[in-house]
Amino acid sequence: MKALKFIKNHIIYFILLLCCIVFSIASPNFLTSSNLLNILRASSMMGIVECGVTMVMIGGGMDMSVGGQMSLNGFILALLMVNFQVPLFVVILVALGLGLMEGIANGVIGIKLGVAPMVVTLATMTIFQALTKVITAGKAVSGFSDAFLSIGKGYVFGIIPIPVLVFVIIVAICQFVMTKTYFGRQIFAMGGNTEAARLSGVNTNLLTVMLYAICGFITAIASIIMLSRTASAQTTAGGSYAFDCMTAAVLGGIGLKGGEGSVIGGVIGAIVIGVLSNGFVMIGVNENWQSVIKGIILLIAVGIDKIKIVEKEAA
């Protein structure tokens, strides 16, 4: 019984191990150091976004607009650097400010309309994506400075990729906030029971806006890294992030109703998605079939989450 409970509580780690075993058997190049580094680099970008999404979901919300934010942010940054030669430091500040505003907009609109967070953020995702196409007319933008490109492709001490270092720092900060601070306890309380949290003195409206603002800020960091790594602003950038982040969160034990889970769990879920994406490419799985498989995985994860909710209510 104890062994079964241990496996149940750490299922995401067993899924990660199983994925690595299967892909290493299917492709001899999967476990090479260069490929593992590629996985870590790719996972770090989604993992950064996942930190923000996880905090929002634990607080009882949902942010499906992160992909649209990354696309819009990327193009605005690209245009500022290439067309207007704005200094890199200023561009980064603009990106972070833009992310904050996008997040605040999500939170405020959701509160004012009083509708489900998924509906609100799906709408803002559509708006962000449409604005990207309007601004760029569907054309890619490239031609960045070496200083900017080094953010996504450079190394610290010649060993640690900069995106991975940023990823680790953000995970550590978010995990600390969620587990060791009063702010984190408020988030869990609001996600568990919004009305009870409000009655206990938590300003749930302000907390909700703050969570979406944090998610937008973190997503802006990821958009800077993605643009630097790809060296080109594309309208399709971050297109699958909303779906992948939600899948990663549920896989990592973050309940869809809020109030439970951890940043580490969501991040491990993001790494699982990164391993799956990389492994599928290495064994030649068609991109459409990849989406089908990921959809099935999400359904299974949601089913498991539903079972956990039923068991919790029955206890």
* Measured distance CA(149)–CA(123) in Å, rounded: 32
Q: What angle do helix axes 88-113 and 117-136 make, rounded to 10 degrees?
A: 140
**Does residue 167 sit within a domain?**
yes
Question: For residue 306, what pLDDT is reported?
Answer: 78
CB 285 within 8 A of CB 33: no
Question: For residue 238, what pLDDT is reported?
Answer: 76
The partner residues of 191 in beta bridges, in order of sequence, read none
Residue whose token pair is 């802006």: 220
Question: For residue 22, what pLDDT is reported?
Answer: 94
Residue 258 DSSP label: S
**Does residue 51 sit within a domain?**
yes
pLDDT tens by residue, the chain, 315 residues: 566 666 666 788 888 999 999 999 999 999 998 899 889 988 999 999 999 999 999 999 999 999 999 999 999 999 999 999 999 999 999 999 999 999 999 999 999 999 999 999 999 999 999 999 898 877 888 889 999 999 999 999 888 999 999 999 999 999 999 999 999 999 999 999 999 999 999 999 999 999 999 999 999 999 999 999 999 898 877 778 888 999 999 889 898 889 999 999 999 999 999 999 999 999 999 988 988 988 888 888 888 777 777 777 676
How many Cβ atoms are within 10 Å of 143's Cβ, its own excluded?
Answer: 10
CB-based contacts of 248, cutoff 8 Å, min separation 6: 46, 50, 266, 269, 270, 272, 273
**Does residue 158 sit within a domain?**
yes
**Does residue 268 sit within a domain?**
no
DSSP-derived 3-state class of residue 303? helix
* Measured distance CA(103)–CA(248) in Å, rounded: 20
Question: For residue 6, what pLDDT is reported?
Answer: 66
How many Cβ atoms are within 10 Å of 259's Cβ, its own excluded?
Answer: 19
* Measured distance CA(97)–CA(298) in Å, rounded: 32
Question: For residue 248, what pLDDT is reported?
Answer: 93
Question: How many helices (H) and strands (E) in the chain?
Answer: 14, 4
Element housing 156 (H / E): strand 155-156
**Does residue 220 sit within a domain?**
yes
What backbone phi and psi angles, to 5 degrees, belong to 213? -65, -40
**Does residue 224 sit within a domain?**
yes
**Does residue 160 sit within a domain?**
yes
Q: Which of 217, 3, 228 is nearest to 104 (CA)?
A: 217
Range of the domain at 173: 38-237
**Does residue 108 sit within a domain?**
yes
Question: For residue 8, what pLDDT is reported?
Answer: 66
* Domain count for the chain: 1
CA distances from 233 to 75, 82, 188, 227, 311 (A): 5, 11, 36, 6, 46
